[in-house]
Amino acid sequence: MGNRAVITTRKNFENNGVGIYLHWNGGRDSVEAFLKYAELKGYRPPDKDCYGWARLCQVIGNFFGGGYSIGIDTVDKLDTDNGDNGTYIIEGWKIVGREYFEGEEQDCHEMKEILTDIDSKQPLGEQLEDALWKEWGGE
């Protein structure tokens, strides 16, 4: 049991490319916050090159800490039809599609709250700069 999801691009979904598996925090509110955080940091998106995947995994992995809460593999080896949140299709840092999901969207956490939590789990010196928070609308 978990709150599972997979994040990938349309091209990767159709061609068994890279995807990220989340065992926890796979609800839309969390996934959108992970993507927004990477965007605010100015990281290149995963559909551009491998560095985007690496940075997104780094942000999520820092958030979870050690353990088995995140995985990365080709889409055919990930639990895309997981019974929880299915598979998010992203373009840039936005969710543009969804596969294997017919449930009710999770929307119980405010973006600011999740972003603050994600930011607090990043290594010292890697957190968002005050200017980025103000630009986004945070405090």
Tens digit of pLDDT per residue, the chain (139 long)? Answer: 689 999 999 999 999 999 999 999 999 999 999 999 999 999 999 999 999 999 999 999 999 998 889 999 999 999 999 999 999 999 999 999 999 999 888 888 899 899 999 999 999 888 887 766 666 666 5
pLDDT for position 2: 82
| Whether this model's pTM surpasses 0.85 | yes
Tell me if 28 sits within 8 A of 107, measured CB to CB.
Answer: yes
Q: Which bin fits 124, alpha (ψ -120 to 50), beta or left (φ > 0)?
A: beta
Taking the C-alpha atoms of residue 88 and residue 139, their distance in angstroms, rounded to an integer, is 29
Domain boundaries, the chain: 5-102+111-126
Tell me if 75 sits within 8 A of 6, measured CB to CB.
Answer: yes
pLDDT for position 1: 67
